[in-house]
């Protein structure tokens, strides 16, 4: 049986928040009262599955392939909130978020990163990592509509130096492969 982190009792903190239509995207989660910085607001729950299982299940909705209820815990484990999820699954992304997810072993808690006022929409930085070069096409597949003055225009994570280096190395390796292929073809022509 697959392991799940479903809570045994309804989270009492869920009374402080409310799910309703968001101006950013679809449904969102809003504070019903002031929430001080540092407070744990809600646990992100759902079925814990392997990264491979998550890939196999993807997309949940073929007409909207980049929409998921996944939370990536680490390289191996993903929470699929489509199964057994609570209100946390409706929290939208923001590039200057007021919440942050805190991962402790196999549990994820959404905490207030700032003082949040009643009525404010809750959000955290999804920081999506897709193992592909950060092209305009990829960015367009994961647009961000958070409207923050510091919006990155994408739900994708800012690329770290090591990821940039990895991509540059991949590009160089591809160039070398192409050159070898050309040289092999030339050699073949010369020897026949
Ligand atoms: C787990 S859902 C969050 C709830 C979502 N609003 C809904 O109604 O389904 C995650 C999806 O919401 C969308 N989303 C969340 N934040 C967004 C943002 N800032 N800009 C654009 N789309 C966003 C993306 O499609 C993302 O894959
Ligand atoms: Zn943004």
pLDDT reading at 1 higher than 50: no
State the residue for tokens 């994961």. Answer: 142
Q: Measured from the CB, is residue 71 less than 6 Å from ligand 1?
A: no
Which letter does DSSP use for residue 90 in this model? G
**Whole-angstrom Cα distance, residue 75 to residue 129?**
10
Average pLDDT over residues 148-169: 76
Residue 111, domain member (yes or no): yes
- What CATH number did the domain enclosing 115 receive? 2.170.270.10
pLDDT the model gives residue 165:
61
What are the tens digits of pLDDT across the range 66-109?
Answer: 888 999 999 999 999 999 999 999 999 999 999 999 999 889 99
Confidence of residue 60 (pLDDT cuts 50, 70, 90): confident
Note whether 132 and 172 are same-domain residues: no
Q: How is residue 174 written in tokens?
A: 């591809």
Higher pLDDT, 169 or 99: 99
pLDDT the model gives residue 167:
58
Start-to-end Cα distance in the chain: 62
Confidence of residue 163 (pLDDT cuts 50, 70, 90): low
pTM: 0.80
Note whether 127 and 138 are same-domain residues: yes
Residue 78, domain member (yes or no): yes
State the residue for tokens 């026949």. Answer: 192
Q: Measured from the CB, is residue 72 less than 6 Å from ligand 1?
A: no
Query: Which ligand is closest to the CA of 123, given by its number?
Result: 1
Residue 141, domain member (yes or no): yes
Atom of ligand 1 nearest to the CA of 143: 21
Higher pLDDT, 139 or 158: 139
């Amino acid at each position: 049986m697959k392991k799940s982190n479903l809570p045994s009792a309804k989270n009492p903190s869920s009374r402080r928040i409310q799910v309703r239509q968001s101006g950013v995207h679809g449904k969102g989660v809003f504070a019903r009262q002031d929430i001080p910085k540092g407070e744990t607001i809600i646990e992100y729950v759902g079925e814990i599955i392997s990264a491979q299982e998550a890939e196999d299940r993807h997309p949940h909705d073929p007409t909207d392939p980049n929409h998921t209820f996944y939370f990536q815990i680490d390289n191996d484990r993903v929470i699929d909130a489509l199964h057994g999820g609570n209100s946390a699954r409706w929290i939208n992304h923001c590039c200057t978020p007021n919440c942050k997810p805190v991962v402790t072993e196999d549990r994820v808690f959404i905490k207030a990163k700032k003082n949040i006022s009643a009525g404010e929409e809750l959000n955290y930085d999804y920081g999506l990592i897709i193992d592909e070069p950060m092209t305009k096409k990829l960015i367009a597949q994961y647009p961000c509509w958070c409207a923050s003055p510091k919006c990155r225009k994408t739900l994708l994570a800012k690329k770290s130096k090591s990821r940039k280096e990895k991509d540059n190395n991949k590009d160089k390796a591809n160039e070398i492969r192409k050159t070898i292929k050309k040289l092999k073809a030339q050699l073949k022509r010369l020897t026949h």
